[in-house]
Structure 1
């Protein structure tokens, strides 16, 4: 497939926008500014990935979801152009329908090629991950940002692969990052003018993936309550949970009715048994039945295992998962004051989100789907890597300040001793001078 001027124009414009966004974050954060050259390279890489994914990878492995989204979005754009609103009634909804409706409106307004959709999702994902790095560095006030935080954020292979495409992952990841950023600012009492982005981000994740919104809201609210009971955040969290549950009922009313009738755990097990045979990469659990929370936690952090690798995509997913898991363990082993860092409200929020996702992923039935949807919990995993890394840098900064203070005290003490010795020598000289003067007067 060949490119045309519209593809190149959209990618150049969004590429320049990402470079400007990088300059903006670096200009207001000195610690981030130290990595500016690397961040500019990463921004270029995200746009370059658009061409690689659109015109090479997707031609070899056609994405079925993206093809379906594109077809329906073009249909929506055509209906909007001809003001044929009657044909849109069966498309109205949330989840996949909501995404196709928004994408169709975008096509209707801009007449953009599909490459523009790839570039928009790539830009949103890069923006969200960069904002999280900026947030961590501003919140913990370390003298520098560890390289591992930069590498696992804007250079994350799974984010580069899955968000660059005509699927919901890019926009959903951005929505999660914006919502999490506001929560951190609220916890640290550094409220800034991000309310609009917060509302837009929360609306995006709730509109495209309401089940993910519930998991994140419950997890993040746990950290808020851990610090102190703030009525505003509790009310917002409860309203968010109610709204997203209502949205889930719109997407899957039959499943919600089953949950009300049979209970959440039994319904989840039934859904897993029904769908476990879908596709060629079913997830198998010990004894054939997943264990709530435990199976999901293992699935999120360590799978696919080597014996579950069947193609190149699962190989890359397994290598990345194990690499991130080893880095996570390494950072917590080297973390100073682990108990204090663990009880930090931000850590508790991320652990709460990871705990909720562990239950959800316990009943995941397909490995390919799991690898893609694991990206929705990646901000929590990234935070659990970044927090102990920043804590260690802050400890090193404190030790350097203590060493510098001891050095200053030692130098000051040496100067004090020298001054006292000089003063003593001066007094002795004055006594000798007075004695000599007395002898001179007597001899005269």
Structure 2
């Protein structure tokens, strides 16, 4: 899958042998080859790693804009498969072979590399005044800022207008209406909803998309404040609602997702009526079928409350603290500094069609669904965030890892949700059992470990 979180999200780890033997895909600008710092004819080359292949044109713009400012640098952009990115980056950083600049997962990702001394604090080096404090929080560790946030990701329920119209199905406005619409489509031989069982990270985001309309702010705050847990009736209701999708999924959904883009491709080709996906994946949908007529709505609330938007801060652009070549280190710092400017935010939103956290940047009108998502984000989003990138998704870095100067991971809520998503849809666990499993995984947060 060629995105983020959603695009932008934390991916299931694989072994180093598999990771280093060909699970990587690359999209590059500048010189071929990537990862090691270097210079060519006096022009430093800065390597940039990301899980977002769609951002390659953005980095060409960055290189051109810096050149116009008199900063000569060759940017070598490398996109790594989203499902492998976290492990590939961690292996490289732990081995001292990491990139000069890299996309970092907000929260847990920021913390583990900062605690290990692998990323450089940018306070005093980069002007982050145009970025809100809320956005910067995910890029900070122990009071210092270690990266520049680059995108706000949102989740929505996308629907194929033609499929619904051809079968006389109205766009559903309620949870009961959504289930009824999918049942009507199924009875006519149409696949109502598509998911990717192999890509549990997206299933976890789908749980959060349902939860945004199910949990009220007081419940989300209670969980955040450790006054309640994920066994709270409202979150159990979230898992119950998610489980209700099971009868309406494509055949053999558990085996879908090895390529990472099957959900978006199936939707774009008219093979399913609904998907729950991130705004980051509209780029893939539009690429596969530019003429597709589709809409976006918030996931309805199972109990009739006003539906709300699930969002998260995707990540931040970080600076490797151990760039050996002085000229490259200076150029890398200049590159990161540019990512905090409105010019970068404009280039990002213009190319990716996503929401930038930089003040003054607006999503272009040519991305109507992203404009709609931006409006929801500003006016109808869940607060506080209770899932990915939330406090319970950012485990404290262990003292031993800090001492060893290595980056490691403790499971947070996003990993916990991934672990229960498939068993829920298969009916192997009840919503109550899944919630209890999540609470056990998060014992470090709720003080039970």
Q: Higher strand fraction: Structure 1 or Structure 2?
A: 2
Same fold (TM over 0.5): no
TM-score interval, smaller chain: under 0.3
Who wins on radius of gyration, i.e. which is larger?
Answer: 1
TM-score when normalising by structure 1: 0.25
**Whose RCO is larger (CA < 8 A, sep 6+)?**
2
TM-score when normalising by structure 2: 0.25
